[in-house]
Structures are given as structure tokens and as C-alpha cells.
Amino acid sequence: MCWQLTISLAQILAAAITKGIDINQTTLAYRLPIGFQLLFPTLVFAFFAFVPESPRWLLRAGKDERAKAALQAIHKDDKAYNSEQHIITLRAAIDAEKSLAADSSWLSLLTDPIERRKLIFSAGALIAQQINGIQWFYYFGTVFSKAIGLKDPFLMAVSDGTG
């Protein structure tokens, strides 16, 4: 549910940026909030090429030597480190996943009682977040606050309710 916290914090930050620029009567009043939304995805894409592949992914792709080099880089401070044991462990886990994947399907989410229970619980948690109205408050709270007569509905969006 950490993504819900991230969304909540992002919405508060967006409300603060919008409030900070609301007195501006130029096109900057809408360009700045939209541009700010592009900042983080741009940073992610800019640095994406510098993120190395994981040893697990390299082994799955059949790049054993690169996987060994990646493990050595991870454990560069340990001069006595030997990557062979990790390679054996990772390969056993990958082989086990492949054998389990051969026996499973998307339909098993509905037919297997354990998988069905996991599906119902996880989907139920997401549905409960929507039903409880928290998203309504994030999206329409300031409109509602203005309708009930608050002088500055924005403060309702960013306040903890004590001030």
C-alpha cells in the first residue's frame, strides 16, 4: 500500500504547487504544474541506462559471465568472495520457478483455492480503498470545503486538521 502513500503525498505536493502559482494570470499558471509532473519521469528515464541488470536477470538471459561479474561488483569489498555458490543458488531458484511456471496458468488464479483467496484479498484491499472515499476527498475535498463555506479550501487539502 506504499503506492497509495506516494499518490497521497504527490497530490498534496501538486495542490501546494497549484496554490503557490494561482495568483499568476499568465500561461505559467498551468504550464508550471504540468511541467513539474514531467520532472520525475524525465529523471527516471535519464538515469535508466545507468542501472545495471541484476545477476538473476543475467542468469535467466543466459549471460553467466556477466552475472558472475555483477555478483563480484556487488561484493567488491569482500576479497575472499566467490560467486559460484550464489550462482548455484540463483540457478536452482530459476529452475524451480521455471518448473512451477510450466504447471501454472492465469486460470489458476480462479481455480486454485489458495490463489483465489490471495486474489480476493488483494483486489478487496484495493476496492476497499476506493469505497472508503479517501480518493473522493483527495479529488473533490477542496470543492466540498468551499461549498460549506471555508475561506481557504486549499488549507483543508494540506492541513492535518489541527490548525
User: Is residue 159 predicted with pLDDT exceeding 80?
Assistant: no
Q: What is the pLDDT of residue 163?
A: 47
Q: What's the farthest any 2 CA atoms get from each other in the chain?
A: 70
Complete domains list, the chain, with CATH: 1-51 (no CATH), 52-103 (1.10.286), 106-163 (no CATH)
> At 99, which helix (H) or strand (E)?
helix 84-102
The pTM assigned to this predicted structure is 0.51
Alpha carbon distance, N-terminus to C-terminus of the chain:
28
Instruction: Give residue 162's identity as a one-letter amino acid code.
Output: T
Of 19, 22, 17, whose CA–CA distance to 39 is shortest? 17
- The answer to whether the Cα torsion of 52, 53, 54, 58 is positive or negative is negative
The number of beta carbons lying within 10 Å of the beta carbon of residue 113 is 8
Alpha-carbon distance of 82 to 25, in angstroms, equals 64
pLDDT digit string, tens, across residues 99-136 = 888 888 888 889 989 999 999 999 998 888 778 776 67
Q: What is the pLDDT of residue 93?
A: 94
